[in-house]
Amino acid sequence: MERTEAQNSTPQGRYTLLPSRYSSEDIIFCIDVDTESLVEMKVTGPNGRPITRLDSIKQAILLFINAKLSINPDHRFAFATLAKSASWLRKEFSSEVESAMDALRLLSVDSSSGHADLTQLFKLATHEAKKSRAQNRILRVFVIYCRSSIPPQHQWPVNQKIFTLDVVYLHDKPGPDNCPQKVYDALVDALEHVTEYEGYIFESGQGLSRVLFRHMCILLSHPQQRCLQDLVDLPKSLTKKSPTADSAPGEENPAVSSQ
Amino acid sequence: MAIDTVPPLIAAQLNYLLSHSPLPIKVEQMWSGSKNHGLLDRFTLVIPFCLDYIRWDVIYNALYPLAAPDIIFGPEDESFRPYYAAGEEGDLKSPKNSMSDWNCKDPTRLLSLILELRELYMTYQRKRVGEVEDERLKFELSTIVSREGIEMYMSSGIEKTEEVKFALPLLGVDINKMVTGCPWRQKQKIFLQVIFPVGRKYMSTPSAPRLKLVASPELKALFSIEDFRLPSWLDGMCMAEYLPILEGLLQSQIVDAVSSIDVRRKFIVALAPLFGRPVEADPVFCRKAAFLTSSGVFTFLVHFSLPLQFPKQQPGLMLQSSQHFNPSGAPVKSPVITEFPWSPRWESSEMAERFFDYLVEECLNFKKYCNESLLQQR
C-alpha cells in the first residue's frame, strides 16, 4: 500500500531527526453521536456520578488539544459529528482552547443512527485538505467511534490520499450479540484506504478513561514524523535501568498492553 | 473590516492590496465620507517606511465610484506633491501616472498607486536629506548612497530636533539558503537603523548616531537580534567604517547560529533511546521536542525547549499529566523546571542519561503535585 513515509527513521528503525517538512496541522475531530456513545465507562466520577463514553471523549479531546498546543501553538482544530453520515459541528479551524470548549459543549447525542457511512466525512476532509495545503499545513481527520455492531462503510477512489486518518474505537466486550472485531476491521480498512501519512488506530473495550487518555497522547504524534504503528513503543517507562536493593517506591504493574 | 458596508469596487481594490502587497501594509481605521450613505469609503493605511511607519489617508467617494481616490499624506509632508499636475493632459511636467490613468474596475490599481507613491516619497525624502546643511551628514550620505535598498527619512517639526534616519539592509548573504529545510516563505532581512541629529554648527567630535538592529520576525527561531551586542561606535567613526565591522560580526554570529542547530538536533536524537520517539519535534531549528513517558500507570508528557544559547544555556523542562485536569478541563502542567543536574560540557548521550535519571525521581514528585492539585479542587 503506497503511503507517504515519514523521514525520521533509519532502515533499522533508529530515530533520526533530519531537516524535513514540518507543517502545522489542521485537525478535524469527528465524534460518533450514536446512542452507544452514552454507554457508561467503568469508573465513576467524583461523588459516584457515572461517566459516559461521550464525557470521556470530551475530556480526552481537551487533553489532546491542550497538549498539542503546548508543543506547537500553531496547530488548529475543527469539529464534526457522525450519525448516519458526517456533518459539521464547528467548521472554522481555531487554535483557541476556549473555542474548542465551546464546540464540545454543543456535542450531544440524539438517537440511534443505524448505519454509518464515512464517505461524506472524506469528502469534507478532502475539500479542507486542499485549503490546508495552500497554507503549507496538513490535514488530519480523527474519528472517534463507539458502535459495537455496526461496521462503518465508505466509498472512496483508490488513489486519493491527501489527509491522514486516525481512529479511536471504544466498544463493548465481544459477545454473541455484537461484532466489535468486524467493526475494527472495517475501520482499519477505511484507514488504509484513505490515509496520506501513517494513520494510527486504537481500540478499547475496557471502559477505562485512563486508557483512552493514553491512546490520545500517542495520537499526538505528528503524521510527518511517525513510525509504523507496529513499531510504536510509547509511552516509554521511566524506571531505573539497573535493579537496586530498594526498588522504586509504590510501583504498580507496568501499564496494560498497548491496546 | 465590515466588508458588506464597503462599496464593492473599493473593497476589491483594498483586498487585493492587503493580500498581494510585497510589504506588510495594514488598515488602521475606516470611516464614511458622508452621514447620508454610511458606506465606508475612506481609510488610513499604515505603510512601512525606513523601519518605521507612515500613515496615509485614502479618500474615495462612494457617490463617484469611477473617480480615483485622493491621498492625504502626513502633516510633516506638506511639500510632498507627487503628480502635482495630475489630470492635466499634455503637461510635460506630469507624465501619465496611476492617478491620471485610473481604472476603478481594476482591483490591482490601488496597490500599484500606493507602491508608486511610496517610491516617489522615497525620492522626495532622499532629496530632503541631501539638502540638509550639515557637512558630516553630507559626507555620510555620500559613502552609502550607492548601497541598494536604502531608505532615508528626514524628520523635523516645531517641537522636535531635526534628525535624519537611515535604514540600511545588511548582509548580502541569503540566510534562508543557509538553513537546511528552511520553511520561511520570505527572505529574511536584517536592517540597521541609524539616526543622526542634524547639527548645523561645526562640532569637533560629532556625537555618535543612535543605532538599532531590526530583523524580520521569523528570524528569531534561529538568531536573536535582541541579544546581539552592537559594536561600539568609536569617536570620529563614520558609517563607511562601522558597517563592515558590524556586518563581519553579524555574519560570523549567524554562521554560529546555523551550526548550533545541529548541536540541538544531536541532543534531541540522544534522548530518543531513553525517552522513546518524540511525539513531535522541530526538525528544522530543533528548538522543541515532546516525549510521552510513564511511571507505572501514570502517563505524562515531557516537554523540552532548547534555547538559542544551548548548551551554554540549559534546556527548559516541563511535565504535563494525561490523567489530571484542572477545573476548566486542561491537563495539569508542572511549572518550568530549572533545578536539574546540568553541564554544557557533557556529551549529548550523557546529558540524556542524566535527564533520564533525574526524571525517574522527579516524576514521582510531579505525580504528587498533580494529586494535590486535584484535592485542592474538591
Dist. CA B373–CA B160, nearest whole Å: 56
Rounded mean pLDDT of B71-94?
68
Residue-wise pLDDT for B192-220, tens only, equals: 999 988 876 666 667 789 999 999 889 99
CB of A116 closer than 8 Å to CB of A152? yes
**B56 domain residue, yes or no:** yes
Computed over every residue of chain B, the mean pLDDT equals: 88
**B272 domain residue, yes or no:** no
Residues of B within 8 A of A225 (CB-CB) are 277-278, 280-281, 283
Residue-wise pLDDT for A49-107, tens only, equals: 899 999 999 999 999 999 999 999 999 999 999 999 999 999 999 999 999 999 999 99
Tell whether the model's pLDDT for residue B65 goes beyond 70.
yes
Preferred mutation among A238, A244, A246 to probe B, highest tally of B CBs within 10 A: A238
CB contact under 8 Å between A67 and B328, yes or no, is: no
Report H helices in B276-347: none
Q: Which of B276, B279, B282 sits opposite A220 (nearest CB)?
A: B279
Claim to verify: residue B219 and residue B296 sit in the same structural domain? no
Claim to verify: residue B136 and residue B251 sit in the same structural domain? yes
Claim to verify: residue B118 and residue B161 sit in the same structural domain? no
Dist. CA B98–CA B114, nearest whole Å: 9
Measuring CA to CA, how many Å separate B8 from each of B68, B100, B107? 15, 22, 10
Q: In CATH, what number does A22-243 get?
A: 3.40.50.410
Dist. CA B24–CA B106, nearest whole Å: 21
Claim to verify: residue B142 and residue B244 sit in the same structural domain? yes
C-alpha cell at position A231: 513499531
User: How many angstroms away from the CA of B291 is the closest CA of chain A?
Assistant: 8
Coil vs helix vs strand at A91? strand
pLDDT computed for residue B197 by the predictor: 85
User: How many angstroms away from the CA of A60 is the closest CA of chain B?
Assistant: 9
**B141 domain residue, yes or no:** yes
Rounded mean pLDDT of B340-359?
94
CB contact under 8 Å between A210 and B297, yes or no, is: yes
- Surface of B (95-124) touching A: CB under 8 A: none
Q: Which of B181, B272, B303 sits opposite A19 (nearest CB)?
A: B181
Query: Cis peptide before B95, with omega less than 30 degrees from 0?
Result: no
Q: Which residues pair with B135 in a beta bridge?
A: none
* Domain of residue B62, residue span: 3-87+97-126
CB atoms within 10 A of CB A84: 12
Claim to verify: residue B7 and residue B122 sit in the same structural domain? yes
**B274 domain residue, yes or no:** no
Claim to verify: residue B103 and residue B201 sit in the same structural domain? no
**B378 CB-contact burial (10 Å; exposed 0-12 / middle 13-18 / buried 19+):** exposed
User: How many angstroms away from the CA of A78 is the closest CA of chain B?
Assistant: 18
- Surface of B (236-275) touching A: CB under 8 A: 265, 268-269, 272-275
Tell whether the model's pLDDT for residue B125 goes beyond 60.
yes
The interface predicted TM-score (ipTM) is: 0.88
pTM confidence score: 0.84
Number of domains in chain B: 3
So where are chain A's domains?
A: 22-243
Q: Which of A17, A59, A238 sits opposite B286 (nearest CB)?
A: A17
User: How many angstroms away from the CA of A221 is the closest CA of chain B?
Assistant: 4
Judged by a CB distance cut-off of 8 A, whether residue A12 touches chain B is no
How many A/B residue pairs have CB atoms within 8 Å?
A: 154
- Surface of A (147-206) touching B: CB under 8 A: none
Q: Which of A8, A136, A218 sits opposite B292 (nearest CB)?
A: A218
Q: What is the pLDDT along chain A (259 residues), one digit of tens a residue?
A: 345 555 566 655 678 899 988 999 999 999 999 999 999 999 887 788 899 999 999 999 999 999 999 999 999 999 999 999 999 999 999 999 999 999 999 998 978 878 999 999 999 999 999 999 999 999 999 999 999 999 999 999 878 899 999 999 999 999 999 999 999 999 999 999 999 999 999 999 999 999 999 999 999 999 999 999 999 999 999 987 655 444 444 444 333 333 3
Judged by a CB distance cut-off of 8 A, whether residue B331 touches chain A is yes
Judged by a CB distance cut-off of 8 A, whether residue B291 touches chain A is yes
Tell whether the model's pLDDT for residue B244 goes beyond 60.
yes
Tell whether the model's pLDDT for residue B276 goes beyond 50.
yes
Which residue of chain B is at minimal alpha-carbon distance from A219?
A: B279
- Surface of B (145-204) touching A: CB under 8 A: 179-181, 183, 185
Claim to verify: residue B341 and residue B355 sit in the same structural domain? yes
Tell whether the model's pLDDT for residue B280 goes beyond 60.
yes
B297: nearest Cα among A35, A235, A249, A219: A235
Judged by a CB distance cut-off of 8 A, whether residue A217 touches chain B is yes
Claim to verify: residue B63 and residue B38 sit in the same structural domain? yes
Preferred mutation among A9, A10, A15 to probe B, highest tally of B CBs within 10 A: A15
Q: Which of B296, B360, B378 sits opposite A240 (nearest CB)?
A: B360
Residues of B within 8 A of A233 (CB-CB) are 276-277
Contacts 24+ apart (CB under 8 A), B53-61: B54/B121, B55/B28, B56/B114, B56/B117, B58/B110, B59/B33, B60/B7, B60/B10, B60/B33, B61/B33
Coil vs helix vs strand at B16? helix
Which residue of chain B is at minimal alpha-carbon distance from A213?
A: B322
Dist. CA A258–CA B320, nearest whole Å: 20
Residue-wise pLDDT for B165-198, tens only, equals: 999 999 878 899 999 989 888 888 899 999 988 8
Rounded mean pLDDT of B22-46?
89
**B278 domain residue, yes or no:** no
C-alpha cell at position B206: 560629532
- Surface of A (86-145) touching B: CB under 8 A: 97, 101, 136
CB of A121 closer than 8 Å to CB of A9? no
pLDDT computed for residue B96 by the predictor: 60
Coil vs helix vs strand at B300? strand
Residues of A within 8 A of B284 (CB-CB) are 19-20, 22
CB contact under 8 Å between B359 and A238, yes or no, is: yes
**B269 domain residue, yes or no:** no
Q: Which one has a higher pLDDT value, B156 or A31?
A: A31
pLDDT computed for residue A257 by the predictor: 37
User: How many angstroms away from the CA of B320 is the closest CA of chain A?
Assistant: 8
